[in-house]
Each structure stands twice: as C-alpha cells, then as structure tokens.
C-alpha cells in the first residue's frame, strides 16, 4: 500500500519507536539503489520544514524538485489540485505538501506518489511532532514522557503543531497543560486548561513549548496589541526564570520576537530551539529512508 503521513495517527507506535530507536542508535549512512525523487509542493511560506526536507533528501542522495508557486501556472488560473495532479503524473517517489487548508482524504487518495503532510491549515504537522517528541526524549534520555509535565502556551486553536504534538506527546504518556487566551483556546482531551500565567504553578513543568500567533489564519482581530499579548502570554526572560531549574524551552518556529517570546531566549542554556531545528533534518531523513523511499 502507498505510504502516507497526513496525521501523526498514520504512524503506529511501533513505527515511531523503530524510527526513534534507529535515530538514537544507528546514524549510519544509508545507500539507496537509485536516487529517488522527492517533490516539494508548498503553497505556503516555510523556512524550517521546506529546507530541512531538502537537507534530509540531499543527505540521502535523493533528487529534490521544489515547486515554486509564484512562478507556476497557478498564475494562469490552474487550480492547486490540478497542479498537484500534474506534478504527480511526472512520477516522483514522494510528494511533500504544505497547504493553507486541510489536506483531505479525497485528495490524498488520488495521488500515486507517497505523500507527507508538511503542515495543512490548522489541522496537523506530523513531522514537527516527531522531531519535537524526539528532541524531548533525547534531552531527558528516556524512552517515553511518562511523568513529564509539558506546558504548551499560545495560539492552540490555529496551531497544526499543537494538534499533532498533543496527540503524540499523549501517546508517549506526557501530562499536558495548555495556556491560551480564550480566543486561542481549544478543548483537547486529557489536557489541563489555563487562561492566565497567574493560575499556573511555574515550578511543575519539565518543558514549555511556546507557539506563535498564527496571524495568517485568524478570522478576526484578537483585540490586543502585540505588546499586551507579550505582557500577558509571552515567554519573557523573567517569566522563564520562574520556571523549574531543569525546565527546557521549545518553540517550533518561526518566532516573533517580543510577541509570544523574547528572542534572546533562543540562546538560553535550557533552550532546545536550535536542537529542534537540528533534529528536524535527522528525523525527516530517517523517516524518508524508513518509510517513503
Ligand atoms: N515549524 C515550521 O513549520 O516552520 P516553517 O513554517 O518555517 O516550516
């Protein structure tokens, strides 16, 4: 059957465990019998996901072809789906997509190539979840996140990263708390909800992940300036200093300095932000190698 990764639920726990095991203990270079072709079909801007898939594919010896929406026949009235079918008909081994909307089952079914969701609207971002979970397991040097308290702060409602991460962290037995203003809050099963830092026991968390406001997906104004948002919900250096002495900091990027986070925190001794980027290449390389080419 054709391989697909649209939701983090498309991988079984044994798939994920094998992937993480190989990542930790077998970093040997893979030799492919022929150079596979990885096609990148992104309809939205991206730095990390796009370039780290390119890096991962290059390290595997695959050929990468990137669709450029601004110079494509989308400008002549072709639909995004017609474009995708056209690229698929050229015969790539795998297509990695990023769409500003939900990647529907009906779309995926019509694609012959293997397909990986590099982020679809407010829905999911499964490879970000894999790299974030792997980064935490590696940092804590453990096989699961049992007993770990993780706080996710920010625009939960519109964040595909939050949706995939919450599912995956829960599969790995983490205890999750979500902090968001009511306009960005979303009920997620098994998570504690907060709407103010003043209600949070800062010392209880082993990790805190900060999310940016997904301004491109907002349907209405949030009724707060960037300065007010930072004051109430932002991760300032002072706020991070109140967290437990071992608490690590994650941000999937892109970061908006002095909106959801103080950019200086990237360089904090307990920041895993650069490690997330580094692991993004390793995780995507191993994922491509094991399941897609
Ligand atoms: N984390 C993430 O998806 O970043 P990009 O939008 O830069 O790919």
**Span 26-43, mean pLDDT?**
83
Ligand 1 atom at minimum distance from 98 CA:
8
pLDDT digits over 111-157, tens only? 999 999 999 999 999 999 999 999 999 999 999 999 999 999 999 99
Dihedral, CA of residue 158, residue 251, residue 46 and residue 217, to nearest 10: 20
Which stretch of 9-18, 52-61, 70-79, 185-194 has the lowest confidence by average pLDDT? Answer: 185-194
> Rounded to an integer, what distance in angstroms lies between the CA atom of residue 1 and that of residue 67?
26
> 231-276, pLDDT tens digit by residue?
999 999 999 999 999 999 999 999 999 999 999 999 999 999 999 9
Residues with CB under 6 A from ligand 1: 46-50, 119, 125, 128, 252-254
Q: Give me ligand 1 centre to Cα 33, in Å.
A: 31
pLDDT of residue 236: 98
- Choose the residue to mutate in 119, 159, 216 for probing ligand 1, maximizing ligand atoms within 8 Å of C-beta: 119
Q: What is the pLDDT of residue 218?
A: 86
At residue 94, the 3 state secondary structure works out as strand
Using 50, 70 and 90 to split pLDDT, how confident is the model at 29? Answer: low
Residue 274: what pLDDT?
98
Question: What is residue 217's predicted lDDT score, i.e. its pLDDT?
Answer: 83
- Nearest atom (ligand 1) to Cα of 280: 1
Q: Pick the closest to residue 166 from 211, 197, 116 (CA basis).
A: 211
187 vs 56, residue with greater confidence: 56
pLDDT recorded at residue 223 = 84
Ligand 1: which of 210, 253, 278 to mutate, judged by most atoms within 8 Å of the beta carbon? Answer: 253
Q: What is the pLDDT of residues 150-190, one digit of tens each?
A: 999 999 999 999 999 999 999 999 999 999 998 888 888 78
Q: Which residues contact 194 (CB under 8 A, 6 or more apart)?
A: 177, 178, 179, 180, 200
**Nearest protein Cα to ligand 1, atom 3:** 49
**How far is 181 from 162, CA to CA, in rounded Å?**
15
pLDDT of 2 above 90: no
At 289, list the tokens. Answer: 């190698």
Q: CA–CA separation, 123 vs 134, rounded Å?
A: 21
% of the chain residues with pLDDT over 90: 87
DSSP string across 258-293 = TTTB-GGGGGSTTB-HHHHHHHHHHHHHHHIIIII-
Which of 52, 54, 128, 216 to mutate to test ligand 1, by most ligand atoms within 8 A of the CB atom?
Answer: 128
Count the alpha carbons within 13 Å of 88 in the hemisphere toward its beta carbon. 18
Average pLDDT of the chain is 94
Report the percentage of the chain scoring pLDDT > 70: 97
pLDDT of residue 1: 58
pLDDT value, residue 31? 65
- 44 CA: nearest ligand 1 atom: 6
Average pLDDT over residues 16-30: 85
User: Is the pLDDT at 19 greater than 90, yes or no?
Assistant: yes
């Amino acid at each position: 059957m054709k391989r697909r990764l649209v939701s983090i639920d498309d991988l079984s726990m044994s798939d994920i465990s094998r992937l993480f095991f190989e990542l930790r203990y077998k970093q040997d270079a893979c030799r492919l019998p022929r150079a596979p072709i990885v096609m990148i079909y992104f309809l939205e801007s991206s730095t990390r996901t796009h370039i780290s898939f390119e890096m991962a594919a290059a390290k595997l010896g695959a050929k990468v072809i990137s669709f450029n929406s601004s110079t494509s026949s989308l400008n002549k009235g072709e639909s995004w789906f017609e474009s995708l079918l056209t690229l698929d008909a050229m015969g790539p081994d795998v297509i990695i997509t990023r769409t500003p909307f939900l990647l529907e089952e009906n779309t995926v079914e019509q694609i012959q190539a293997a397909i990986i969701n590099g982020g679809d609207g407010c829905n999911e971002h499964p490879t970000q979840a894999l790299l974030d979970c792997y980064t935490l397991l590696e940092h804590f040097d453990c096989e699961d996140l049992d007993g770990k308290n993780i706080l996710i702060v920010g625009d939960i409602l519109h964040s595909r990263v939050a949706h995939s991460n919450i599912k995956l962290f829960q599969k790995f037995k983490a205890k999750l708390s979500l902090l968001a203003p009511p306009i960005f809050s979303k009920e997620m099963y098994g998570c504690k909800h907060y709407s103010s830092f003043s209600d949070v026991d800062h010392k209880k968390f082993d990790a805190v992940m900060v999310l940016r406001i997904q301004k491109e997906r907002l349907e209405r104004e949030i009724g707060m300036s960037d300065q007010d948002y930072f004051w109430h919900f932002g991760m300032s250096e002072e706020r991070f200093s109140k967290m437990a002495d071992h608490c690590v900091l994650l941000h999937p990027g892109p970061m908006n300095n002095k909106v959801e986070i103080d950019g200086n925190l990237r360089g904090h001794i307990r920041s895993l932000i650069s490690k997330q980027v580094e692991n993004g290449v390793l995780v995507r390389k191993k994922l491509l190698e094991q399941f897609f080419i």
